[in-house]
Amino acid sequence: MKISLEQFDKAFENRIRLQVMSVLVANDYYDFNSLKELLGVTDGNLASHLKALEKEEYITVTKSFIGRKPNTQYSASDKGRTAFKKHLEALENLIRQQKG
């Protein structure tokens, strides 16, 4: 049975973006390398998805240095948290509708 995805957030259509968002919602902040390791994705891939989420203003980026190494921290914005919650609710609604 096919389900239409119209009510879903376009930004979360991509699996990795949804995964990034769920990590950032569960944590105050997360750094680039830990995200990369956790999700098992390449640098470029992760960077492009983070850019997309940043463009939507779903995440905020804080750049700093530890010694000479760049250390970029990401955190979910209020807008991003709300969007994520809505997306999950839409998923849950779908399941409920199918049961009923």
Partner 1 sequence: MQQEDIYAEINSIRNLMERSSKFISLSGLSGILAGIYALIGAAVGYTMIYREHSGLRLRDHYANDPLVYWPLFLVALGVLVLSLITGVWLSARNAHKKGQSFWNPGSKRLIASVSVPLISGGLFILILIFRGEYGIIAPASLLFYGLALVAGSNYTFSDVKWLGLLEIALGLIASLFPGYGLIFWSIGFGVLHILYGSIMHFKYDR
Instruction: Please report, as ranges, the residues that interact with partner 1 according to CB under 8 A.
Output: 1-3, 5, 18-19, 22-23, 25-27, 30-31, 34, 37-38, 88, 91-92, 94-95, 98
Q: Cβ of residue 44: shortest distance to partner 1, in angstroms?
A: 21
Backbone angles phi, psi at 66, to 5 degrees: -110, 105
| Shortest Cβ 25–partner 1 spacing (Å) | 7
Indicate the residue among 38 and 57 with the shorter CB distance to partner 1.
38
Going by C-alpha positions, the residue among 4, 18, 9 that lies closest to residue 98 is 4
Shortest Å distance, C-beta 81 to partner 1: 12
DSSP 11: G
Nearer to partner 1, 34 or 64 (CB): 34
The smaller minimum CB distance to partner 1, of residues 6 and 65, is found at: 6
Nearest approach, Cβ of 98 to partner 1 (angstroms)? 6
R_g of the chain computed on alpha carbons: 15
Non-local CB neighbours of 59 within 8 Å, separated by 6+ positions: 20, 21, 24, 50, 53, 74, 75, 76, 77, 80
